[in-house]
Structure 1
Amino acid sequence: MGLSQALSTAMAGLRANQASLALVSSNVANAETPGYVRKTTNQIQTAVGNGAGVETVGVNRVLDDYIQSQLRTETSGAAYTRTRANFLSNLQSVYGDPNSSATIEAAFNSLTTALQALSTSPDSQSARTGVLNAAQALAQQLNSTSQGIQALRNSAETGIANSVSTANNALTQIAKINRQLQGYANQDAATAALLDQRDQFITQLSGLMDVRVVKGEGNQVSVYTTSGTQLVGGSDAAQLSFNTQGTVTPEAQWNADPSKSTLGTISISYPNGGSIDLISSGAIRSGSIAAFLELRDKTLVQAQDQVDQLAAAMASALSDKTTDGTAYPPATPVPPPGTPAGFDLDLAGLQAGNTVHLTYTDNTTGVQHNISIIRVDDPSALPLKDTATIDPNDKVIGVDFSGGMSSVVSQLNAALGGASIQFSNPAGSTLRVVDDGATGLSDVNAASVTTTATSLTGGGPQVALFTDGGRPYTGAITASGSQQTGLAGRITVNSGLLADSSRLIVYSTSPATPAGDTTRSDFILSQLTSGTFSYSATTGIGSSSTPYKGTLLGFTQQFTNMQANAASSAQQLSDGQDVVLNTLQKKMDATSGVDIDTEMANLLALQNAYSANARVMSTVNSMFQSLMQVL
């Protein structure tokens, strides 16, 4: 090897060392930078005359693609479980500490205790006041619980809006970096830095939703949801939009039909046109956005339904009055054989949402049928679904009463004409239902009407202790939904009772309720403590085929325990997901992160190589000088 060749080889070594030293310096400087991937030089051997040299042809990122992909998946899962755990923990706080007095159960028990005192001393003004104060405390506890649930739903709505904004920025940046990388032919330090930045935005996006990354040529990537919806395609990014609807209320519900939805939906729009509703298509399955959607539209809706059903059952238990129908025809005189038989029902007090219950037997099959006839004052709400009642064996018929009794009869005969039973209106507000008489195809077994007591002195123990913001709670159904929805946030104590507490005892003025009579207070106490009621499967307790049936306190304990268990399970799941995520992050750091000790060892090796090349150059320089002196 000649001196010139030796000098060229040493200079090539110095240049390679300088490039490597620059990367070591960058690695050390970014050791704590999130998302930074350790860099190394890509060097190849080159020919220098009759000798050999080295050339740096690029920069490598020390990256395990499989671990990175798994890390993104678990990042989505961790964001989902963490969001749910935080919200359910906050929901548990809304229900209150089980050991404190600020819970629905504690307020309920205080009311029953006050009622026991009233039944012991019915003439005591302080006992009456105690009942009303306890009832107000229970109503206020339900009000605050409902407000807390809706505040959490509103937070979820806000979380979706913020997440969509963050996602759009990430998508825009990923597409922008894709365009920049198209101009970089070589895998140099600038390219590697852009790849780091793009990975950071993809990781940020994976915390919001589940993503799948497909690599293309020229350092290009396409990003999809795991369901297959494209988010980024090369240099083009789709944009998400969220049409927030304002303050969330119990009545606000998301619906796949935009004309019926009262909550915001997420849509994706593409640069070349076209859009997709990501909620109705189920495109987002994980990440914080998926958690927000599930909380807003399912979990917290169910929580609201629980307290609403408690409020509705409690109000109805005290105010509902069921009256059996009068047998028709009368026993005397004895009716002729084959005379249609059934019942007469007085519908004078029937209000929207009140029910006529009918049981008849189809003698051709031997099957007994239950019919719930519900008064509806909003014709646009018809026809009603069978879910309008909790009993899975009921057939529900909604009847529009706006046209009078003749219209009611026509609607019922049209709905049940094939059942061999007939309806008629013999006079006034009387509804008559009878079998088919001589043919014997059917038998009407029972009929009753359930109305809501509105008078404080109607002659019976039933009383509207609780009202819907001053209105009677009747369970009315309109096109916009059921009166039950949001009732827990509106429930109040009857203002008439607050004005005259004696009506907690006095239920009749003609004749007057005897002094010391505890019929009404005993009725209220019995209904609250011993009455059993059925609750819809929408509460998450029981099923549609076998609804949960129990006391008001039993139902309260069921759903509060359910929420406590859900919060605990969500936290355990989040903790477990964090363990998985942290384990993967450590693996990622071990393969792609910067280890200072390793970099220092590399630095020493590079310094030694630099010194060796420098000595070669110095020696060659000395030899050239000696040759010059000889010449």
Structure 2
Amino acid sequence: MSLNALNTATAGLQVTQAAIGLVSQNVANAGSAGYVKRVLTPVAQLGNSGVATGTITRTLDAVSLKQLRLETAGASYTGLTAKVQGQLDALYGTPGSSAALDGVMNGFTQALQGLTTDPTSAASRAAAVGAARTVATTISGIANGVQDLRSGLEAQLGADVASASTLLSQIAALNTKVVGATGNSSGDTSVAELLDQRDQAINTLSQYLDVQVSEQHDGSATLLTASGATLVDHGAAATLAFDGRGSLNAAVQYTTDPDTRGVGTVTATTPAGARIDLIATGAIRSGSIAAAVSLRDDTLVQAQRQLDDLAGGLSRAISDRPATGTAAAANGLTGFDIDLTGLQAGNAVTLGVRNAAGAGRNLILMPTNGAAPDPIDPRLTDDPTALVVPVDISGGPATFAGAIGAALGPGFTVSATPDGAAGSVRLLTDPATLALTGAAASVTVPTSAADTKTGSGQLALFVDGGNGNTVFTGSFEGGSHLTGLSQRLAVNPAVVADTSALVNYAGTTTSGDTARPQYLVDALTGRNLTFSAGSGIGGVSAPRSATVIGFAQSVIDARGAASAEAQQLDEGQGIALSSAQSRFGKESGVSVDEEMSKLIQLQTAYSANARVLTAARDMLDTLLRL
């Protein structure tokens, strides 16, 4: 009997000692990231004559862990988005300050208004030119900042993808170790430690991209992307790569066509050798990589488009005359007469059409000199839903009607207007099949930067400084001249050299004539222009009509609202992440109070077993003395 008691007490001491050691380990790692609480499960011996150490397991809540990884990826996404949106908003300056975009636009308007009161003042003319230069440098500075942000995200993508690829390799290696360590002695904690390391690696990976984790029967973990592509399978891992392009500019964007893609993409090469474009397939939907891609290819591209539209509107508001069609009819056909005199490449003519079913659409006639791409991407025009029809006008005004008629084809009757004016065109259709609902164009009056005496108020005050100080017309010759215009915007050197051009619009203009200064003010504050739907101002499906000053204010408001919204989303996601961490910590983390309570119980059990051993020893000593 004493021997049985001795054996039982000895086994009890061993189990209790192991449990006390595990409690000590839990307490020591209470603040360690990724450590999951361990518990010892004793095993009763045959015949209930004692206990064995049993197994060491982790108190892991799989549901809480999955939610933690989901919220971690979300927090990385919103965190980077809020950061970059804040940096973008800061580029525009503090609203209302003299150095902010709205401040310099208002300063320019006020300088022109001052010129209307005293056109003879050289100081007033110099102030107006100086204010114009401040506007140009401010807009170009913001646009350069936008491209700097895009280049920074391109570099960050390279670093994040490299880190994620390294983590995938580490997870695959840990899979192999976990499978090999399974079956070790019951008191060995190596498997639990390996599982902790693997979970921590997956948690870190979740900061970069969202993954789906599936535990396998052999203890390994399989990782998949949101679209189902395998990243880790047992001991094999995919390799992630990013073909970064360094410094970016407004002309380079992401496309699924490798030949036209101007920015880097993320690819995964599976162990079998298959290569998957994770951006093209939409495999990455959260985490810092997804956020960087969205910011680089959507948010900042749209911000650049807003600035380009502002630069184009600023230039053409001052240099263009509006051309609006007047109703016309002949031989049962109806349509419009429109004066296109002086039409230049890029001066789009927008026709509203409606078919017999009542469906309406814009049709854009895009004048070219024969060097524009065909087809022209409608997303680069004011209306991305329009049908863009290139029209070669290199033959001059006398050929406008014939060129337009040839481009439009059957269903349209195009001719010179009955008065025979060169450049004036009549467009007619059969309203029963295809009705014309409107016709409008914006015709650039100056033919060159040196053409300051146009005989009217129009003036090329702002020019395309990156293309030889040419007049901006919206041309597509050799590609869209609108793309990147905000970075190239400059004040006409001819006006800088001779500020009297702000007043003198013809050889006979008197020095005190206020016609041109007043025209410039009205062009900025009173003339509505059409700004592209691609800018996202007022909606992404329809062009925006506004004054240049109004559009500038809308851009500033949109940027501020986007930054505030991103900050709010990040704060909300931060709360969600904190809740997930708390929930996971409560279920799987170490509670020192709980461990201390368990330690007291174990100490009591240890003391009891020790007393049994003492009693058994005393009994044996007594028997031996008999």
Normalized against structure 1, the TM-score is what? Answer: 0.88
Task: Look up the SS of the partner of 2:57 in the other structure.
Answer: strand
Aligned ranges 1:362-373 → 2 under 5 Å:
372-373=364-365
Task: Look up the SS of the partner of 2:49 in the other structure.
Answer: strand
Contact 2:402/2:414, CA 8 A, preserved across alignment:
no
Structure 2 CA distance for partners of 1:162 and 1:359, relative to 1, 3 Å? closer
CA distance in 2, matches of 1:586, 1:437: 70
Amino acid at match of 2:528: T
CA RMSD of the aligned region, Å? 3.6
Task: Look up the SS of the partner of 1:381 in the other structure.
Answer: coil
**Residues paired across the two proteins, number:** 615
Amino acid at match of 2:319: S
Match of 1:604 among 600, 606, 618: 600
User: 1:532 Cα deviation (Å)?
Assistant: 0.8
Match of 1:583 among 572, 579, 582: 579
Q: For each residue in 1:211-268, what CA deviation from the matched residue of structure 2 results, as whole angstroms up to 9, or x when unmatched?
A: 2111111211111123322211111111111110111211121011111110111111
Task: Look up the SS of the partner of 2:615 in the other structure.
Answer: helix
Contact 2:389/2:408, CA 8 A, preserved across alignment:
no
Structure 2 CA distance for partners of 1:316 and 1:435, relative to 1, 3 Å? closer
Q: For each residue in 1:61-116, what CA deviation from the matched residue of structure 2 results, as whole angstroms up to 9, or x when unmatched?
A: 01111111111111111221122111111211111111322211110110111111
- 1:92 pairs with 2:85: no
- 1:560 pairs with 2:559: no
Structure 2 CA distance for partners of 1:446 and 1:103, relative to 1, 3 Å? closer
Contact 2:415/2:427, CA 8 A, preserved across alignment:
no
Task: Look up the SS of the partner of 1:418 in the other structure.
Answer: coil
Structure 2 CA distance for partners of 1:619 and 1:36, relative to 1, 3 Å? same
Contact 2:211/2:223, CA 8 A, preserved across alignment:
yes
Q: For each residue in 1:567-610, what CA deviation from the matched residue of structure 2 results, as whole angstroms up to 9, or x when unmatched?
A: 11221121111112111211211121111122222222222322
Structure 2 CA distance for partners of 1:479 and 1:59, relative to 1, 3 Å? farther
Structure 2 CA distance for partners of 1:342 and 1:550, relative to 1, 3 Å? closer
CA distance in 2, matches of 1:432, 1:497: 31
Match of 1:72 among 69, 73, 80: 69
Task: Look up the SS of the partner of 1:5 in the other structure.
Answer: helix
Structure 2 CA distance for partners of 1:248 and 1:585, relative to 1, 3 Å? same
Contact 2:12/2:50, CA 8 A, preserved across alignment:
yes
Contact 1:73/1:210, CA 8 A, preserved across alignment:
yes
CA distance in 2, matches of 1:547, 1:6: 91
- 1:457 pairs with 2:453: yes
CA distance in 1, matches of 2:165, 2:350: 55
Partner of 2:192: 192
Partner of 2:346: 353
Aligned ranges 1:481-496 → 2 under 5 Å:
482-496=480-494
Partner of 2:408: 416
Q: For each residue in 1:311-366, what CA deviation from the matched residue of structure 2 results, as whole angstroms up to 9, or x when unmatched?
A: 110100111135789999xxxxxxx999x99979776x54431345678999x999
Structure 2 CA distance for partners of 1:393 and 1:598, relative to 1, 3 Å? closer
User: 1:384 Cα deviation (Å)?
Assistant: 2.6
Partner of 1:331: none
Partner of 1:383: 375
- 1:267 pairs with 2:267: yes
Which runs of 5 or more structure 2 residues have no equivalent in the other structure? none
Task: Look up the SS of the partner of 1:183 in the other structure.
Answer: helix
Structure 2 CA distance for partners of 1:370 and 1:170, relative to 1, 3 Å? closer
Amino acid at match of 1:381: P
Contact 1:39/1:62, CA 8 A, preserved across alignment:
yes
CA distance in 1, matches of 2:608, 2:359: 102
CA distance in 2, matches of 1:158, 1:387: 28
Partner of 1:530: 526
CA distance in 2, matches of 1:197, 1:525: 67
User: 1:622 Cα deviation (Å)?
Assistant: 3.1
Normalized against structure 2, the TM-score is what? Answer: 0.89
Contact 1:324/1:447, CA 8 A, preserved across alignment:
yes
User: 1:412 Cα deviation (Å)?
Assistant: 3.7
- 1:169 pairs with 2:166: yes
Task: Look up the SS of the partner of 1:477 in the other structure.
Answer: coil
CA distance in 2, matches of 1:388, 1:158: 27
Q: For each residue in 1:138-182, what CA deviation from the matched residue of structure 2 results, as whole angstroms up to 9, or x when unmatched?
A: 111111111222222222222221211121111111111101111
User: 1:6 Cα deviation (Å)?
Assistant: 1.9
Partner of 1:542: 538
Contact 1:409/1:425, CA 8 A, preserved across alignment:
no
Amino acid at match of 1:91: L
Contact 1:251/1:485, CA 8 A, preserved across alignment:
yes
Task: Look up the SS of the partner of 1:419 in the other structure.
Answer: coil
Amino acid at match of 1:96: G
User: 1:517 Cα deviation (Å)?
Assistant: 0.6
- 1:294 pairs with 2:313: no
User: 1:624 Cα deviation (Å)?
Assistant: 2.6
CA distance in 1, matches of 2:98, 2:544: 27
Amino acid at match of 1:490: R
Structure 2 CA distance for partners of 1:121 and 1:584, relative to 1, 3 Å? same
Amino acid at match of 1:146: A
**Quick one: percent identity of the two aligned structures?**
38
User: 1:620 Cα deviation (Å)?
Assistant: 2.4
Amino acid at match of 1:16: V
Task: Look up the SS of the partner of 1:534 in the other structure.
Answer: strand
Amino acid at match of 2:25: S
User: 1:377 Cα deviation (Å)?
Assistant: 4.0
Task: Look up the SS of the partner of 2:523 in the other structure.
Answer: helix
Task: Look up the SS of the partner of 1:353 in the other structure.
Answer: coil
User: 1:134 Cα deviation (Å)?
Assistant: 0.8
Task: Look up the SS of the partner of 1:128 in the other structure.
Answer: helix
Amino acid at match of 1:129: A
Match of 1:151 among 132, 148, 156: 148
CA distance in 1, matches of 2:106, 2:565: 28
Aligned ranges 1:330-341 → 2 under 5 Å:
none
Partner of 1:245: 245
Structure 2 CA distance for partners of 1:88 and 1:13, relative to 1, 3 Å? same
Q: For each residue in 1:460-484, what CA deviation from the matched residue of structure 2 results, as whole angstroms up to 9, or x when unmatched?
A: 211111111122211111564x211
Which runs of 5 or more structure 1 residues have no equivalent in the other structure? 329-335
Partner of 1:374: 366
Contact 1:423/1:431, CA 8 A, preserved across alignment:
no
Amino acid at match of 1:601: S
Structure 2 CA distance for partners of 1:80 and 1:503, relative to 1, 3 Å? same
Contact 2:532/2:542, CA 8 A, preserved across alignment:
no
CA distance in 2, matches of 1:629, 1:227: 80
CA distance in 1, matches of 2:478, 2:254: 16
